[in-house]
Chain A
Amino acid sequence: MAAETKAPASGPAPASAAAIDEPAWVRRLLIAVGLVFIGLFLVLPLVAVFVEALSNGIGAYLAALRPPDALAAIRLTLLVAAIAVPCNLIFGVVAAWAIAKFEFTGRSLLITFIDLPFSVSPVISGLVYVLLFGAHGWFGPWLVANNVQIIFAVPGIVLATIFVTFPFVARELIPLMQEQGTEEEEAALSLGANGWQTFWRVTLPNIKWGLLYGVLLSNARAMGEFGAVSVVSGHIRGLTNTMPLHVEILYNEYNFVGAFAVASLLALLALVTLVLKSLLEWRFGHELAASRH
C-alpha cells in the first residue's frame, strides 16, 4: 500500500466520520430515488392543479372563480372555519391545561379519546352526525317537529368540521405544556398573581407558537375537509356547498377549468400553510412540542 495517503475529496469536509459513510454512488442513488418519488407523487399533482386551472388562459381562470355559486362556496368555507377553529382552539387550551398541568387517574384514557377522530374515516365522521340528527336519526323526529335543520344545513357542516379538526390544537399543546411543567405557574401564584393572570401572563406566552401551529393545521383541515362534510352537506349549490364540494360538483359536470380553478385556491391555501408551518418550525422549533403529528 502506498505510503502517501489519498486526501479526502475537496470541498467542505463532512462532520460525520468517513468510516460509516455510504459510497458516493449509493448516496446519489438514494437521493435520486427519494427525489423522484417525491416529485412523482407530491410535486406533480400540485403542478397539475395549476396547469389544468390555467389551461384556457388566465382570463378563463378568473372567470371560473366569479360565478355566484363559487363565491358562495368560498364564503361558506371561510364561515365554517371561522366557527370550527375557535371552538377547537378553546377546547384544546382548556383540555391541555387539565391534562398537562395536573396528575389524575384516567389521564391517558382521555388523551386516547381526544385522538379518536384522527383514526376514524372522514365519511364515518359525517355519518355519526347523520345518525344523530338526520331525518331517521336519534334526534331526527324531534328536530323535524321543532323545525330545526342540522343535517343538509350549515350546522351539520360545522359539527362535522369540528369533529375532524378536534384533536389538532390539543395534541400540539398537551406534550408542549407537559414539557414546560408547572414551575413557572407556581412561581407566578407565589408572587401573588391570580389564576387568570397566571394563565394570560405566564402560560399563554409560553405556548403561543405551539397554539399557532395547532391553529394552522386545524384551519387547513377545516377548509379542506371533504369526506365528512360531503356526507352531511346535501350538496345544495349556493347554500351548503363548501369549496372542496364545489370542486367535486364542477368536476363531475366536466367543467374542468372551473373545478381546477377552485382547487387551485385550496392548493394555494395548502402551500401557504406549509410555508407558515415550516417558518414556525425553523424559527420556533424549540417552542413547539417535541412530537409532531
Chain B
Amino acid sequence: MNIEIKDIQKRFGDFVALHRINLAIRQGELLALLGPSGSGKTTLLRIIAGLEQPTSGAILFGGDDLVGQSLRERKIGFVFQHYALFRHMTVFENVAFGLRVKRRRERPGEAEIGKRVRRLLDLVQLGPFGGRYPSQLSGGQRQRVALARALAIGPRVLMLDEPFGALDAKVRKELRRWLRGLHDEMGLTSVFVTHDQEEALELADRVVIMNGGRIEQIGSPESVYEQPASAFAYEFLGNVNRFECTISNGEAVFPGGTISVSEDVVHNGGEAIAYVRPHDIEVFSGPAIAALPATVRYISAAGPLAKVEVAAADDRLIEIELARPVLRALALKVGSLVHIRARKARVFRRDTEPSPGEALSMRGEGRYPEQATPPAPMWHI
C-alpha cells in the first residue's frame, strides 16, 4: 500500500507541531521517522494512523483520502510506546479484541478467532502464554503481544511508536532483529518512530529525519549517515566534532589553524561551523602539513575502536576514534604531543547550526525541501 502524505499541517493553538509535511511511503518498505523529542515525529505517526486529525492536508492510501475516515475503516495496526495492553484481559483476549469488535457481518466465528489468535501467538513466539495476563509478562513479551494484537486485524500498514523505547539494551537488540525478519517475511508496509539514530540506521529501509516539525532529510541509512543534508542531521546522526570558523578569501579560519577551502556556498567573512566525525580524523606523531598540534588527554581502548580525546592549543577537546593497530603504531600516551588532521569535513553556514534550547521552529524557513538536496561541497582541512 502506497501512502502519500500531502501538505499535512498540525497546530495546537498557536504552536505549529507540523509544517506542511510531504512524504511518500512505498509499498512494503520499513520506514523510520527519526528525530529528537518535540520534532513532530510522533504527531505525524498519530495523524497517519488517524489517532489525531491534521489541521489541514491529505493522506492518500493507494489513492483514497483517509482524513476524516474512522479508525475502524483505516485498518492500521498501531503499536503503542507503552504497549497499551488491556490489563484485565488475557494475552489471548488482547489479541482477539480486534476480531471480536468487528461488525457482526465481518466477525469471524469463535473457532476461527481461536485459530487466528493462536497462529499470531505462535508467530510472535508466545504460543504457550495465551492464558497469562499482561502483568505476568516481561517487557519484551508485552511488546510482542502488542504487535500480535495489531497484526490481528489484518492491517494495511503497521505503525510503531518508539517500539523499543521501554526495553533494556539486550532485549532491544534481539527484538529489533526479530522485527526486521518479521517485516521481510510479511512484506507489510511499516512505519516506526524512534529517537535512537542507531536503531533507525540499522533497522529501516529509509530514514526520515525530522526536526522542529519539518523533515530535514529523507534517504537510505547509508546516504543520510554519509551525506547529512544539514548541520542538524550531522549532529543528530552520531558523534561529531564541531569547529567554529570564519570564512575569508576561501579559507576557513579557526583557533589553532587556518584551512584553505574552495569556497562555493559560504560567503566571504561568514561565520561557519566545520563538522568532523571522530573516525575521520588522522593522527600523526610528528608534524604534518596543515595539521593541528594537540595534546592527548584521555585514551579508552575498550572495544573495537579506541577513543582518544585530545586538547588543541585553545584547550578545546576533540574526540577521535582510531583502529587499535593504529593506536598501537602511534604509541600514544596521555600527555603525548600529536598533530591531527581531518580526513573529511563538512562546513555549514553558522546560522544553520542547530541551537538547542531555542525554539526549533524559529530556524530558517524551507531551507531543505522534501528530498535531500545534493550534498553541499566538501571542505578539506
Contact of B58 with A3 in the complex, beta carbons under 8 Å:
yes
Report A-chain residues with C-beta under 8 Å of the C-beta of B373.
none
A-B contact count (CB 8 A): 39
B62 at interface (Cβ–Cβ under 8 A)?
no
Contact of B50 with A5 in the complex, beta carbons under 8 Å:
no
Give Cα distance in the complex from A5 to B66, angstroms. 10
Interface size class of B (residues with CB under 8 A): 10 to 19
Contact of A1 with B68 in the complex, beta carbons under 8 Å:
yes
Contact of A5 with B52 in the complex, beta carbons under 8 Å:
no
Contact of A6 with B68 in the complex, beta carbons under 8 Å:
yes
B65 to chain A, nearest CB (A): 5
- Name A4-26 residues within 8 Å CB distance of B: 4-8, 12-13, 15, 17-20
Interface of chain A: mostly helix, strand, loop or mixed = loop
> Which of A1, A8, A20 is in CB contact (< 8 Å) with B64?
A1
Smallest CB-CB separation from A20: which chain B residue? B51
Contact of A17 with B65 in the complex, beta carbons under 8 Å:
no
B138 at interface (Cβ–Cβ under 8 A)?
no
A2 at interface (Cβ–Cβ under 8 A)?
yes
Give Cα distance in the complex from A5 to B51, angstroms. 15
Report A-chain residues with C-beta under 8 Å of the C-beta of B71.
19
Report A-chain residues with C-beta under 8 Å of the C-beta of B67.
1, 5
B377 at interface (Cβ–Cβ under 8 A)?
no
Contact of B69 with A1 in the complex, beta carbons under 8 Å:
yes
Report B-chain residues with C-beta under 8 Å of the C-beta of A12.
13
Contact of A5 with B13 in the complex, beta carbons under 8 Å:
no
Give Cα distance in the complex from A2 to B12, angstroms. 23
B82 to chain A, nearest CB (A): 15
Q: Which of A4, A5, A8, A18 has the most CB of B within 10 A?
A: A5
Given contacts A13-B11, A17-B46, contact A5 B53 (CB under 8 A): yes
Give Cα distance in the complex from A3 to B8, angstroms. 12
> Which of A1, A4, A5, A13 is in CB contact (< 8 Å) with B12?
A13
Report B-chain residues with C-beta under 8 Å of the C-beta of A2.
65
A213 to chain B, nearest CB (A): 32
Given contacts A13-B11, A17-B51, A18-B52, contact A5 B46 (CB under 8 A): no
- Name B26-49 residues within 8 Å CB distance of A: 46
Give Cα distance in the complex from A5 to B54, angstroms. 8
A8 to chain B, nearest CB (A): 6
B57 at interface (Cβ–Cβ under 8 A)?
yes
A2 to chain B, nearest CB (A): 7
Contact of B55 with A1 in the complex, beta carbons under 8 Å:
no
Report B-chain residues with C-beta under 8 Å of the C-beta of A4.
56, 58
A180 to chain B, nearest CB (A): 27
Give Cα distance in the complex from A4 to B8, angstroms. 11
Give Cα distance in the complex from A279 to B53, angstroms. 38
Given contacts A5-B57, A5-B58, A12-B13, contact A17 B69 (CB under 8 A): no
Report B-chain residues with C-beta under 8 Å of the C-beta of A8.
53, 55
Q: Number of A residues contacting the other chain (C-beta, 8 Å)?
A: 15
Report B-chain residues with C-beta under 8 Å of the C-beta of A15.
12
Contact of B65 with A3 in the complex, beta carbons under 8 Å:
yes
Give Cα distance in the complex from A2 to B60, angstroms. 11
A260 to chain B, nearest CB (A): 49
> Which of A1, A7, A19 is in CB contact (< 8 Å) with B52?
A19
B101 to chain A, nearest CB (A): 14
- Name B204-258 residues within 8 Å CB distance of A: none
Given contacts A5-B57, A5-B58, A12-B13, contact A17 B52 (CB under 8 A): yes
A16 to chain B, nearest CB (A): 10
Smallest CB-CB separation from B54: which chain A residue? A5
Given contacts A1-B69, A12-B13, contact A19 B56 (CB under 8 A): no
Report A-chain residues with C-beta under 8 Å of the C-beta of B57.
5
Give Cα distance in the complex from A60 to B381, angstroms. 97
Report B-chain residues with C-beta under 8 Å of the C-beta of A5.
53-54, 56-58, 65, 67-68
Give Cα distance in the complex from A211 to B69, angstroms. 53
Give Cα distance in the complex from A19 to B73, angstroms. 12
Give Cα distance in the complex from A240 to B254, angstroms. 93
- Name B171-223 residues within 8 Å CB distance of A: none
Report A-chain residues with C-beta under 8 Å of the C-beta of B11.
13
Report B-chain residues with C-beta under 8 Å of the C-beta of A1.
64-65, 67-69
A176 to chain B, nearest CB (A): 27
Q: Which of B13, B53, B64, B71 has the most CB of A within 10 A?
A: B53
Give Cα distance in the complex from A7 to B53, angstroms. 8
Q: What does the 1/0 interface line of A8-50 toward B look like (CB < 8 Å)?
A: 1000110101111000000000000000000000000000000
Give Cα distance in the complex from A77 to B69, angstroms. 64
B74 to chain A, nearest CB (A): 10
Query: Which B residues have a C-beta under 8 Å from some C-beta of A?
Result: 11-13, 46, 50-58, 64-65, 67-69, 71
| 9 tightest Cβ-Cβ pairs between the two chains A and B | A5-B67, A19-B51, A18-B53, A1-B65, A17-B51, A3-B58, A17-B52, A13-B12, A3-B65
24 contacts between A and B (CB under 8 A): A1-B64, A1-B67, A1-B69, A3-B58, A5-B53, A5-B56, A5-B57, A5-B58, A5-B65, A5-B68, A7-B56, A8-B53, A12-B13, A13-B12, A13-B13, A15-B12, A17-B46, A17-B52, A18-B52, A18-B53, A19-B51, A19-B52, A19-B71, A20-B51
9 further contact pairs, Cβ within 8 A, besides A1-B67, A5-B54: A1-B64, A5-B53, A5-B56, A5-B65, A7-B56, A8-B53, A12-B13, A13-B11, A18-B53
